[in-house]
Chains A and B, each alone.
Chain A
């Protein structure tokens, strides 16, 4: 479990990082928190010839929270975002999800943007981005950055819209609508493991505190986060009906930890719990 040889690039600014990435092209990989990449290198499952280590690029270590939402730079660690009162104020779902990401030691090192780019279908943050309709900003040398909406960003299991030579420099998580609440529920085999299934929920209420919008993003039940609008089914707080809709539309697969049927069942149970909790929070916020 030792990696094959690679060239290590340690740029000190964004320009140098983009230049190194452009030169490496498809033979390069970005190293940020390294919580997924390093094990893959050690197991020789990945063998990039160039590692572009952005840990020295201070300008990427940013976290901005405002009325519009939260923008997380490529070097912001999970734990920083998790502990940020401003981020929690601007978008509570981020903190609700980050608490479920692995363990503190991993959150101290791993990055939010790295988790999005890794695009594990069982990970929490892609679901958060997808549910909120956020976006990822991709930069490349000699070109204007492009913003890719979440719906187009996750293209398959462990696959994202990032092209060779591109660097995901930040992610934007929009603020929730007024009179809304969010929740994240998941079941993992052990504390901190990737979820067998998980559901992020957003419930927005109208002036009479009735459900105006109910959406969920499910993890672990498909190749990419499954975003479902269950507003109609949720009318009159009928969370059980919403859960049925989630069960029907989830397309999980068997693996060594759980059957597809159990995951489908879980998605329903967790959707019901998450929607109920989000609505409760929405009414408390109203």
Chain B
């Protein structure tokens, strides 16, 4: 049996559980718990004059009703601003329950606890909140005018303003380069709002043990360790008395990295106060109006370029709609501003963004986290340049690529981790060559002509991106081999279905030389591993994968040392295969890892046959040394951490062929091709699955998803009836090719792959529609109705 599983398409070990309904999601827990429900603001902007709960007091099964005034000091404070930044001069976060003002529809105002959720909602319906409506601010451009303020003390509604300028090699600014360039263009782009929209919404379930004075909280979160620290601080509990567990989580896509949510603080607080188990499970309507959205930018682009399409100067001004609050800082616009550069070296770059408050749901990272916007900007720019110069769109891109020999390549900016934006490795020309071959770029004109002969209209599009993945500060891994030969791996970051149980087991099995069946993986449980950051930024494989590999190497080294003693061999001559340590070339001189684990833990008491071997009168111990050698610890286990100097940069290129119906203006994706480079592949099948899911979400952003706010700040499509996510029928078959340029930054040579698939899709589809129709596409998503209207406005000729 081979144990070298790294790189193999191992079947997902979590799937039998997850696909047969055996998963253990938040709402599967705590069936006897009390339920919470919330009265949420129906107004986008209003002052709360009075809250009258008297009508709800007679509801059978009511346990408690809380408003802001009921909260103790620390809980009553505004929620934390998680990622401060000097440019975020006016960062604002919400109170867990609205204090005196509501700033978006859906903001929680009153919490009700009752015997079950039905009764809690009945009580909510009977609570009367007297609101004084204020003028709502909707849309970044209206917000910038500043006639009305989302926050009274934030003039112009600007929460953050940041200008970054990278001069050209000859020391000129972007403005100077554009001015001096042979050609220049300027245009505006619009990107709609969308949202993570995981299948499972948020949820919290809290149990207080009054005797032990300890709190256990289950949360559908992307970071259990940080929720734990936040709760200990908010509730005044010692950290060791708080346990936070992320059970199976039905998707996160970014929204669940935000923490602590109001409900995440209030439910544990009420559980302690009432000494009762309480659970809150977010429903879909709550998720639409009370969690977070993303995308949502207006971009003004100026570009100067030469005859070959080389960008000499690029100036982008971004208006970023941040919604009502900024709990996650300005990570999204920072990522847009930095990742906009993609695989290109451009002359001079100036990017300016304003992060603007509106009376809408707050904006925090959603898979891609600002990159789809940046890539849309850059790739639309590349297509504009090609159209202007009459060049092939791939030729313009190739003219701007960073070349393979230019790595590490310093883009001269600061990335979202506060570290330099230095690309570690990549091969963009090869990636483009593979993509053109995969999609048949060079023979497309024949295909177009054949379609046209049948009265059909088709177009081809392309989009390239670079993604900074695996941001720090660190993750850790713990590996323990027990005396039954089983390997127990744990890491602190959380899983939302990505396949961590499989890939981390592949890494451990490969490093330790054990069958994967003997490896089990636990994530996101602070009882098992307390130090972690979380799952976001395509970082789990890079961060925890490397940490687990390093921890395995420690364990392996210890196992070989103990085995060497037992076998009277040199550790350097030992190998581990199929869970058995043996002398290289002498298979009979061997000892199972299970036995090594027994020997690693010198015992006084024999509780079973295995343990007998490690007790004190077996005569195997060297009597001139302590049973546990100096500097060593009992047990066959190891712990290690991986902390990268900076992010590692994955990349990819997508192409699509679309058909637009000349009559109905329907848009159909005929083919979708992906070339993807995330360094060394741990499991190509899982990487492809990640790409498929990402592309599906990208199709949503390109053709379907928008958050339709009216001028009153009401979200008009807050249900799956009207917020259109693609079904399987709308997602094309995805053709994938992998390129592997290993990262020099980490021991496994890997880069992140989680977000990749989603990033360029709107740009690719826009490129293809533009090619089919000959109409500039400047906004995403685009619907058949919008394409029809664009056709009507098409200038004659």
Contacts and interface: CB of A to CB of B under 8 A. Distances in A.
B785 interface: yes
B726 A257 contact: no
Given A4-B122, A191-B730, A258 B784 contact: yes
Interface string B763-790: 0000000000000000000011100110
A257 B121 contact: no
Contact of B788 (A189, A257, A262): A262
Nearest to B284: A1
Given A187-B664, A256-B717, A2 B783 contact: no
Interface in B662-684: 663-666
Contacts of A3: 118
Contacts of A256: 708, 716-717, 722
B449 interface: no
Contacts of A258: 783-785
B6 interface: no
23 contacts: A1-B121, A1-B285, A2-B118, A3-B118, A5-B122, A39-B721, A43-B285, A187-B664, A187-B784, A189-B704, A189-B724, A190-B724, A190-B727, A190-B730, A193-B724, A257-B785, A258-B783, A258-B785, A259-B785, A262-B788, A262-B789, A269-B663, A273-B663
Contacts of A190: 704, 724, 726-727, 729-730
A192 B724 CA distance: 12
B664 A44 contact: no
Contacts of B561: none
A87 to B, nearest CB: 26
Contacts of A128: none
The 6 closest A-B pairs by CB, nearest first: A191-B729, A258-B785, A262-B785, A1-B283, A269-B663, A2-B118
Interface string B724-755: 10110110000000000000000000000000
Contacts of A1: 121, 283-285
Contacts of B724: 189-190, 193, 257
A236 B283 CA distance: 56
Interface majority SS (helix, strand, loop, mixed), chain A: loop
Contacts, number: 67
B117 interface: yes
Given A187-B784, A189-B784, A196-B784, 7 more contacts: A2-B118, A5-B122, A43-B285, A187-B666, A189-B783, A270-B664, A273-B663
A277 B719 CA distance: 36
A249 interface: no
A269 B784 CA distance: 13
Interface in B275-328: 283-285
A interface, size bucket: 20 to 34
Interface in A40-57: 43-44
Given A2-B118, A269-B663, A192 B727 contact: yes
A191 B784 contact: no
Nearest to A263: B785
Contacts of A4: 121-122, 125
Nearest to B788: A262
Nearest to A268: B663
A258 B717 CA distance: 13
A43 B720 CA distance: 12
B664 A266 contact: yes
A2 B121 contact: yes
Interface of A: 1-5, 39, 43-44, 187, 189-193, 196, 256-259, 261-262, 265-266, 269-270, 273
Interface of B: 117-118, 121-122, 125, 283-285, 663-666, 704, 708, 716-717, 719, 721-722, 724, 726-727, 729-730, 783-785, 788-789, 792
A270 B663 CA distance: 9
Contacts of B717: 256
Contacts of B721: 39
B239 to A, nearest CB: 36
A50 to B, nearest CB: 17
A243 B284 CA distance: 41
Nearest to A269: B663
Contact of B117 (A2, A43, A261): A2
Contacts of A189: 704, 724, 783-784
A204 to B, nearest CB: 25
A265 B791 CA distance: 12
A257 B782 CA distance: 11
Contacts of B788: 259, 261-262, 265
Nearest to A260: B785
Contacts of A43: 285, 719
A256 B784 CA distance: 12
Nearest to B717: A256
Contacts of B117: 2
Contacts of B783: 189, 257-258
B125 A196 contact: no
A277 to B, nearest CB: 14
A257 B729 CA distance: 19
A67 B323 CA distance: 62
Contacts of B708: 256
A269 B791 CA distance: 15
B281 to A, nearest CB: 10
A264 to B, nearest CB: 10
Nearest to A103: B727
Contacts of A5: 118, 122
A81 to B, nearest CB: 23
Contacts of B118: 2-3, 5
A3 B726 CA distance: 28
A261 B704 contact: no
Nearest to B285: A1
Nearest to B122: A4
Nearest to A1: B283
Contacts of B121: 1-2, 4, 44
A262 B122 contact: no
A80 B663 CA distance: 34
A196 B729 contact: no
Contacts of B663: 269, 273
